[in-house]
Amino acid sequence: MAGMTTGHRLGPLDDIPVGEGRAYAVGDLMIAVFRLRGGGVRAVSAVCPHAGGPLADGLVDRRLVVCPLHQHTFDLSTGCSTTGQPPLTVYPVRVDADDQLVLEM
């Protein structure tokens, strides 16, 4: 193990319904966290680079989030847009032993 990284507790996993996203303000950052159906969480920057859409309101599947405003899509693991927009920032996120969401910084 390469020592300890630090993380920030965002709150209980159950704050996010399965298959949906919720937005968190972490310091000055705005982060959208998604709880995937079939397991797994993903965190990306919350503001759509296209025209500022709220990504946490988007539809997701295992791979993509679709922005609710103009339906641009982004890969949740890489942040890259599959529809030609600038990429999102991806944040490492996990669920700890107490079922808390932890954002690694």
Show contacts with ligand FES in window 31-90 (CB under 6 A): 48, 50-53, 67, 69-70, 72
Q: Which is nearer to ligand FES, 32 or 101 (CB)?
A: 32
The nearest distance, CB 77 to ligand FES, in angstroms, is: 19
Phi, psi dihedral angles at 103 (to 5 degrees): -100, 125
Question: Nearest-CA neighbor of 64 among 92, 94, 44?
Answer: 44
The nearest distance, CB 85 to ligand FES, in angstroms, is: 7
Q: Which is nearer to ligand FES, 60 or 102 (CB)?
A: 60
The nearest distance, CB 71 to ligand FES, in angstroms, is: 6
Per the listing, tokens 């507790």 go with 9
Pick what 80 binds: ligand FES, other proteins, none; C-beta below 5 to 8 Å, kind-dependent. none
Name the DSSP class of 46.
S
Dist. CA 59–CA 102, nearest whole Å: 22
Distances (CA, A) of 87 to 44, 90, 98: 10, 9, 32
Binding site for ligand FES (CB under 6 A): 48, 50-53, 67, 69-70, 72
